[in-house]
Structure formats: structure tokens, C-alpha cells
Structure 1
Amino acid sequence: MDRCVTEKVFSFPPQLRLKKPAEFKKVFAKPVKSSDQYFTLLAIRNDLDHPRLGLAIAKKNIKKAVQRNVIKRIVRESYRLKQQNLGNIDIVVLARREAADAPPDLLRKSLERHWLKLVTRCDSYS
């Protein structure tokens, strides 16, 4: 089952994730930021031909594991659907305390705005 290159793929394979501490450090070093009351997103250009996502959902901000997992699931899903439009950037998503009690559709809308903002800001940086 070989996929055609032009076909849009909405999967989230391991190569689309930031995994190593060094990869996260690079993003934290000199990022382009996008913030609102629920999330702070940090992004930098990468040398690959695809975007990568890293999650930093702190236990300090979101106490319950269930809430952290729900937030991570929402972020991953939103990223998965938007990855085609993101270009070659590395993104780290940090959740704020307010995200714990926010309804999922509000979080999705917030992320939509962040993806757009980051793409335009990273384009102007390069």
C-alpha cells in the first residue's frame, strides 16, 4: 500500500514529533511566540521538509493527569489536521492553568489562531 506523494496524509508518525531534549532546547532558545489565555506556542524554522510538534504540558499548571491527557489529545488532533499548512517549523505547545477548565472547542479555536499566527511570523523571520 504505497501512498501517492500528492495525496494529503493526516497521520502523526514519530518523525513529526520533537522527542529529544536537545530538539526542545533548540526551540526554547530563540523562538517565535504566540500566546493567549490557554496556550503559549513557541516555534522556530527547521531544516526538514515537514513540521514537528513537541508538547510541554506541565503538571504544575494542569494538576490532573486526565486533564493533561485531554489537552494533549486536542493539541495533537488539531496539529494533525493543520500539519499540511505549517511548512518546516518546530513547535512546542505549553498549556496554561486556564486550559484545564476550558471546553474542548474553545481550545481548538485557540490552537487554530496560533497555527496561523506562527506560520505568518515564522515566514517573516526567514
Structure 2
Amino acid sequence: MYALGTAFPRTARLLTPRAFQRVFAGADRIADRYFTLLVAENAEARPRLGLAIGRKVSPRAVDRNRIKRVARESFRHHQGDLPAVDVVLMTRPVARTTDNGTLHQALARLWQRVSQRCEPSSPAS
């Protein structure tokens, strides 16, 4: 069995068009030079990831698949630190020509921003 933070089971994925539509309809947007994350709270006990990387952004399937692999791996390593949110990851065209290390660093910063933005506010003392 995988420890939380190392696996990417079906329960950690957005699978249905309805789940994607819910995120697109009511999401906060967090973006940088390479990626745009749409983030919406969910009723699940864990974060879930959906990937929306189209041919417009990267015409070659090999480039889209590389970006997806990097995104899934990064999510697997950071999901233990994320709140219960649904995230749809979209790519900007510059990511197609960017090396994997830079993409990993960009995603790590974005996951940190998701955690900070979505953490419950503490009551005032």
C-alpha cells in the first residue's frame, strides 16, 4: 500500500465532466508563468486533481503527456500538504519548451499557494 503523498489513486482524480464543470464554475484562480490552477473546495476528505491540457497549448501529444507526467508526480508528492480541494491544472504554451525541473519548482510554489489560500482562518484571540 502507498503512503499518502506517494500514490495517485482514482479517488485523487477528477473523473467526470460534472466534477470539472463544478470547478470551472466556482473556482479561485492561481497562476504563474507556466500553469493556471482552478481551485474549488470539495466535500471529499482529500485533494483531487484534474488535468486540462489541450492541443492549442501543445500540439504534440508527446509534449502534453510529459507535462501531465510532471504534474501528476508533483501532485503525488504534495497532496498530503493540500486541503480538501478540487484542482484543475491548465498549462500555458511556454510550459511546452520548459525543462521538467523548472516545471516541478513552479508546481511546488503553486501547491504552497493553494495551501496558504485555502487553509481555514484561525479565530481571533
Map of 1:103 onto structure 2: 99
Q: Which residue of 2 aligns with 1:54?
A: 50
1:23 equivalent to 2:19? Answer: yes
What is the letter of the counterpart of residue 65 of structure 1? A
**TM-score, with structure 1 as normaliser:** 0.90
Aligned with 2:38 (options 42, 46, 49):
42
Once residues 61 and 97 of structure 1 are traced to their aligned partners in structure 2, the CA distance between those partners, rounded to angstroms, is 5
The alpha carbon displacement at 1:123 in A equals 2.4
TM-score normalised by the chain length of structure 2:
0.91
- What is the total number of aligned residue pairs between the two structures? 121
Q: 4+ runs of 1 displaced by more than 4 Å?
A: none
Whichever residue aligns with residue 66 of structure 1, its letter is V
Indicate how the Cα distance of structure 1 residues 31 and 9 shifts in structure 2: closer, same or farther if over 3 A, else same. closer
How far off is 1:9 after superposition? 5.2
Structure 2 gaps, min length 5: none
RMSD, aligned CA:
1.7
Q: 2:71 aligns with which of 58, 71, 75?
A: 75
Identical counterparts, % of pairs:
39
- Rounded Cα–Cα distance in structure 1 between residues aligned with 2:43 and 2:104: 28
What amino acid is aligned across from residue 41 of structure 1 in structure 2?
L
Structure 1 position 121 matched with structure 2 position 111:
no
Aligned equivalent of 1:88? 84
